[in-house]
Amino acid sequence: NSFCTLLEAGHRLSPLAAADHPLVPVPMEQQQRVQVSVRIRPVIAGGSAMHQQEQYEHIAATRTGDNGVSLQEHKLDEACRSSAFQFDYVFDSDSTQLEVYEDAVVDLIDAALQGGSNATILAYGQTGSGKTHSMLGDVRPNPLDDQLLTPQSGIFLRVLSDLLAFRERRADKTHVVIGLSCVEIYNEKIRDLFGGSSADDPPPPLKAVMVDEHVLLPGLIVKEVMTLNSVFNELQLAIQRRQSRATGANKESSRSHCLFTVDVLQR
């Protein structure tokens, strides 16, 4: 079975950016740190050739204890070799979207809202290992239910849902603005997935420029997020615009990198 890795990094805002806001300092141990979580994907019935093949293979990765993964390599006529690794969090094949969010992500959102830190969540892994499932999950709004988050909703919608709930709670005290942008990096070209007049139009290209240590994208479209419903609509448009190429491993695989940036301003 394959697994994907979630990398998270938190780092302090630059002093200039932080100076405008009355922020609570981020504790030393939360600054500049990277956490690595592993999520083991279950074997999937049916689907692509790769997934069908998996059903007849040995389970390669198993969770050991709270934070360990044991990998077994089975080869014909050879004794099974195994290696053990430790991670910050290990999510087994029966882990839920909510568990992943609550264990590995929610503290980053708190740190960003309370302490003004920046946070990045990166999913890394081979095609078909569960990156899109973990990050986006199911993004179809359920028309029979006004409950927009479902058990299948991934990290991204849960983050936006919590940020919007925070904005609601603070409405009488603080002015909170949530901005969202979405770019795709495909063959080293950057495109704005919020640009273009219709969903079938190719998204407009962006040029990255380096200013000191910062990578900037002049002309990037940032949309203000008011409701979770609007996030669904924007997200569905962006997903449609994402370049999709079929691969042997995963029909839906886009073979591109997708980058969402969420800006939270508090005044």
CA pseudo-torsion sign 51, 53, 59, 60: negative
Other Cβ atoms less than 10 A from the Cβ of 116: the count is 20
Inter-residue contact 37 to 4 (CB < 8 Å): no
The SS3 of residue 260 is strand
Angle at CA of residue 101, ends 14 and 31, nearest 5°:
25
- Of 53-61, 167-175, 194-202, 247-255, the segment contacting ligand ADP by CB under 6 A is 247-255
Q: 111 or 135, CB closer to Mg ion?
A: 135
State yes or no: residue 6 binds ligand ADP (CB under 6 A): no
State yes or no: residue 181 binds ligand ADP (CB under 6 A): no
Q: What are phi and psi of 25, to 5 degrees?
A: -60, 145
Inter-residue contact 108 to 119 (CB < 8 Å): yes
Q: Which of 132, 134, 153, 181 binds Mg ion (CB under 5 A)?
A: 132
Q: Which of 1, 67, 244, 253 binds ligand ADP (CB under 6 A)?
A: 253
CA nearest neighbour of 235 among 152, 166, 138: 138
CB of 245 to Mg ion, least distance (A): 11
State yes or no: residue 133 binds ligand ADP (CB under 6 A): yes
State yes or no: residue 130 binds ligand ADP (CB under 6 A): yes
Site for ligand ADP in 34-63 (CB under 6 A): 41-42, 44
Helix axis angle, 155-169 relative to 228-241, nearest 10°?
150
Inter-residue contact 152 to 138 (CB < 8 Å): yes
Q: Which does 128 bind (CB under 5 to 8 A by kind): ligand ADP, Mg ion, none?
A: ligand ADP
* Number of residues in contact with ligand ADP under rule CB under 6 A: 15
CA nearest neighbour of 3 among 69, 96, 58, 79: 69
- Which residue's CB comes closest to Mg ion? 132
State yes or no: residue 132 binds ligand ADP (CB under 6 A): yes
State yes or no: residue 125 binds ligand ADP (CB under 6 A): yes
State yes or no: residue 131 binds ligand ADP (CB under 6 A): yes
97 annotated as a binding-site residue? no
Inter-residue contact 163 to 262 (CB < 8 Å): yes
Binding-site residue set for ATP: 125-132
Give the residues lining the site for ligand ADP (CB under 6 A).
4, 41-42, 44, 125, 127-133, 250, 252-253
Binding-site residue set: 125-132
